[in-house]
C-alpha cells in the first residue's frame, strides 16, 4: 500500500517513534510532502492543521538532520539546524511537542521559545544547544538580539501557518529573521490559503518550490457533520445542552466572537453545573495552558474560546464544536469546525443562528459552496430561573498582535478584534432579520418522523437558509484548481 510509513525508509529511530504514535498510514499531505522534503526541495504546501502537516515536514526534516546526530555535551556540537516558525504560542507549543515525540529515540535536540513566558529557562535551553528550534517570531527576535540564538547554520526553515503570520502582522519580523539565515537552505511554507501576499512571500524566499495541495482551503472535512440551529440568543445555552444530552457528547469547544462573551458564557455554563473553562486573548499564557491541559485531561468538558485563542489548537477527538456566535468571517467557520473530525475521526459542528445572523450564514454558504439548512431544535419547556444573560453583545476581544505570542506592545495599532487586523472594518452588523420564521414563537416539529440523519436524534424542522439570504456579492474562489 502506497501510504504506509514503511515505504519511506525512515531511520529505525524515527520509524519506532511513528509506530508508537499509532499512525497506521500516512495522511495525504504526508504521502505527498515527505518524499519531496526528503530530497531537500523547497515546498509550498496548502494544508491546515489537522491534516497531519506537522509530521509531514518534521519527519523528513529530522531524517535529514540525523547526519548531525551526536552525543556530545558541548553546545557547539548542537547548533540550530532547523527553524520552525509559527504564529501563536499554543501552536508553537504543540508543534514542539510533536517534534519531541518524533525525535525521542534520536540524539537530536529540540526546543521551543515563545512569548508570555520568562526568557531565562528558554535561554538556558538554547545555550545548551538545540538542532531544531520551534519559535514564534517576536520571541525569537528577542533571543537573537540577546545573542541566545545563532542561526547561521540553519539548513531548514519552516514557515507554518504562514497566512496567519501575515494576518497577525509578522511580515517584518519574518523578513528580519530570514535575513539571519544562510541563503543555502531548504524552505518549507505551509498555509491554509495561497493569497497574493503568501505567493509574494514564497516568491521572495523559496526557490523553485514544489506545490503541494491536499484539500482546497475552504473545504470542510467530510467527516464533520454540520448542523445549523435557529436559536434566539437566550435559548442558545439550552440548545447546546440539548445537543450534548441527545448525542451523549461529553466534551466540546464552544466558539464565541468576543472576549467578553467568552467569559460570560463560561461563567453561565459553570453556574449551570458544567465543567467549563474560558480561553481568550486576555488570559495569561499560564492560564491558557492550564485550561488546555485540563480539557485534555478530561477535567474540563467545555472549552469556551475565541478564534484567536483557539487558533491552531490541536486536541484530538473533540467530538463537537459549537458556534455560539456565527463567526464574522466565513473563513473562521472553516477553522473552527476543523477542531473536530480531525485525522479521520468523525465530528459534529453545530452553529447557533440568531435572527441577525442570516448574512453571516450566507457568507459561509458561499465560501464552502454548500447549501446550508437552518433547523429548529425542539427544546423542552423553559425551566424557571433567573433570566438568561444577553449574548447579543459584540464587544470585541482586542488582543495585541504580539499577544499571540505573549509579547505585548502598548498602543499597538494592530489591536484587533478577535480576528486578524487586516479584516477589521470589514464587518458591518447584519440588518435585523424580519423573516417571520424568526419572529414566530417556538412551535413543536410538524412531524413526529425522526430526522433522517439520526434515528434517535432530536426532532427538527428544516428550513432552507437560502430563502432568508439576500443575494450577495460574489466571494472570490481562493483556489481555482482541480481537485
Query: In terms of CB distance, is 49 or 187 closer to ligand AMP?
Result: 49
Q: Which residue among 42, 173, 235, 314 contacts ligand AMP (CB under 6 A)?
A: 314
Q: Which residue among 66, 144, 289, 343 contacts ligand AMP (CB under 6 A)?
A: 343
Tell me the window of 24-32, 403-411, 430-438, 448-456 that interacts with ligand AMP (CB under 6 A).
Answer: 24-32
Tell me the window of 51-59, 203-211, 326-334, 355-363 that interacts with ligand AMP (CB under 6 A).
Answer: 51-59
Tell me the window of 48-56, 158-166, 246-254, 453-461 that interacts with ligand AMP (CB under 6 A).
Answer: 48-56
For the bound state, the minimum distance from the C-beta of residue 22 to ligand AMP, rounded and expressed in Å, comes to: 7
Tell me how far apart the alpha carbons of residues 354 and 232 are, in angstroms, rounded to a whole number: 5
Q: Which residue among 10, 14, 52, 376 contacts ligand AMP (CB under 6 A)?
A: 52
Query: In terms of CB distance, is 163 or 325 closer to ligand AMP?
Result: 163
Query: In terms of CB distance, is 49 or 110 closer to ligand AMP?
Result: 49
* CA nearest neighbour of 382 among 232, 195, 174, 207: 232
Q: Which residue among 10, 14, 27, 135 contacts ligand AMP (CB under 6 A)?
A: 27
Q: Does 53 help bind ligand AMP (rule: CB under 6 A)?
A: yes
Q: Does 30 help bind ligand AMP (rule: CB under 6 A)?
A: yes
Query: In terms of CB distance, is 29 or 401 closer to ligand AMP?
Result: 29
For the bound state, the minimum distance from the C-beta of residue 88 to ligand AMP, rounded and expressed in Å, comes to: 13
Site string for ligand AMP, 54-73 (x = CB under 6 A): xx------------------
> Which residues 6+ apart lie within 8 Å of 338 measured at CB?
48, 49, 50, 220, 221
For the bound state, the minimum distance from the C-beta of residue 49 to ligand AMP, rounded and expressed in Å, comes to: 4
Q: Which residue among 32, 37, 44, 49 contacts ligand AMP (CB under 6 A)?
A: 49
For the bound state, the minimum distance from the C-beta of residue 351 to ligand AMP, rounded and expressed in Å, comes to: 23
Residues 148-207 that bind ligand AMP (CB under 6 A): none
Residues 89-148 that bind ligand AMP (CB under 6 A): none
Q: Which residue among 17, 33, 50, 376 contacts ligand AMP (CB under 6 A)?
A: 50
* CA nearest neighbour of 307 among 322, 288, 327: 327
For the bound state, the minimum distance from the C-beta of residue 19 to ligand AMP, rounded and expressed in Å, comes to: 11
Query: In terms of CB distance, is 30 or 220 closer to ligand AMP?
Result: 30
The single residue listed with the C-alpha cell 538554547 is 126
Q: Which residue among 32, 51, 88, 136 contacts ligand AMP (CB under 6 A)?
A: 51
Report the DSSP pairing between strands 347-353 and 224-230: parallel
Q: Which residues contribute to the site for ligand AMP (CB under 6 A)?
A: 23, 26-27, 30, 49-55, 314, 316, 342-343
Amino acid at each position: 500500500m502506497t501510504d504506509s510509513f514503511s515505504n519511506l525508509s525512515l531511520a529505525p529511530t524515527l520509524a519506532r517513534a511513528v509506530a508508537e504514535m499509532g499512525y497506521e498510514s500516512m495522511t495525504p499531505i504526508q504521502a505527498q510532502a515527505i518524499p519531496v522534503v526528503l530530497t531537500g526541495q523547497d515546498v509550498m504546501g496548502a494544508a491546515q492543521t489537522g491534516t497531519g502537516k506537522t509530521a509531514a515536514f518534521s519527519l523528513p526534516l529530522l531524517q535529514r538532520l540525523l547526519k548531525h546526530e551526536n552525543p556530545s555535551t558541548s553546545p557547539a556540537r548542537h547548533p540550530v539546524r532547523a527553524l520552525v516558525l509559527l504564529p501563536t504560542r499554543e501552536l508553537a507549543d504543540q508543534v514542539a511537542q510533536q517534534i519531541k515525540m518524533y525525535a525521542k529515540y534520536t540524539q537530536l535536540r529540540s526546543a521551543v521559545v515563545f512569548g508570555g513566558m520568562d526568557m531565562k529557562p528558554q535561554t538556558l535551553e538554547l545555550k545548551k544547544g538545540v538542532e531544531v528550534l520551534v519559535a514564534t517570531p517576536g520571541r525569537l527576535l528577542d533571543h537573537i538580539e540577546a545573542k541566545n540564538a545563532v542561526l547561521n547554520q540553519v539548513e531548514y526553515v519552516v514557515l507554518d501557518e504562514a497566512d496567519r503570520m501575515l494576518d497577525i502582522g509578522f511580515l517584518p519580523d519574518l523578513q528580519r529573521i530570514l535575513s539571519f539565515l544562510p541563503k543555502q537552505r531548504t524552505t518549507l511554507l505551509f498555509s491554509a490559503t495561497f493569497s497574493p501576499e503568501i505567493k509574494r512571500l514564497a516568491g521572495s524566499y523559496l526557490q523553485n518550490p514544489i506545490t503541494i495541495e491536499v484539500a482546497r482551503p475552504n473545504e470542510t472535512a467530510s467527516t464533520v457533520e454540520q448542523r445549523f440551529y435557529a436559536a434566539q440568543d437566550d435559548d442558545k445555552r439550552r440548545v447546546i445542552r440539548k445537543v450534548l444530552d441527545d448525542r451523549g457528547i461529553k466534551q466540546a469547544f464552544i466558539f464565541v466572537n468576543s472576549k467578553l462573551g467568552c467569559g460570560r458564557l463560561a461563567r453561565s455554563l459553570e453556574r449551570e453545573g458544567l465543567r467549563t473553562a474560558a480561553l481568550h486573548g486576555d488570559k495569561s499564557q499560564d492560564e491558557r495552558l492550564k485550561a488546555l491541559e485540563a480539557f485534555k485531561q478530561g477535567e474540563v468538558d467545555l472549552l469556551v474560546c475565541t478564534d484567536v485563542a483557539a487558533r491552531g489548537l490541536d486536541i484530538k477527538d473533540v467530538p463537537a464544536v459549537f458556534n455560539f456566535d456565527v463567526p464574522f468571517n466565513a473563513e473562521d467557520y472553516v477553522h473552527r469546525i476543523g477542531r473536530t473530525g480531525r485525522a479521520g475521526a468523525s465530528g459534529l459542528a453545530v452553529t447557533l443562528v440568531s435572527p441577525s445572523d442570516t448574512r453571516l450564514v450566507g457568507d459561509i454558504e458561499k465560501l464552502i459552496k454548500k447549501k446550508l439548512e437552518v433547523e429548529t431544535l425542539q427544546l423542552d419547556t423553559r425551566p424557571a430561573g433567573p433570566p438568561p444573560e444577553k449574548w447579543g453583545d459584540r464587544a470585541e476581544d482586542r488582543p495585541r498582535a504580539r499577544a499571540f505570542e505573549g509579547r505585548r506592545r502598548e498602543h499597538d495599532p494592530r489591536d484587533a478584534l478577535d480576528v486578524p487586523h487586516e479584516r477589521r472594518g470589514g464587518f458591518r452588523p447584519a440588518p435585523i432579520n424580519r423573516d417571520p420564521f424568526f419572529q414566530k414563537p417556538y412551535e413543536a416539529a410538524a412531524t413526529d418522523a425522526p430526522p433522517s440523519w439520526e434515528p434517535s436524534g432530536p426532532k427538527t424542522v428544516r428550513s432552507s437558509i437560502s430563502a432568508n439570504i439576500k443575494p450577495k456579492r460574489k466571494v472570490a474562489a481562493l483556489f481555482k484548481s482541480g481537485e
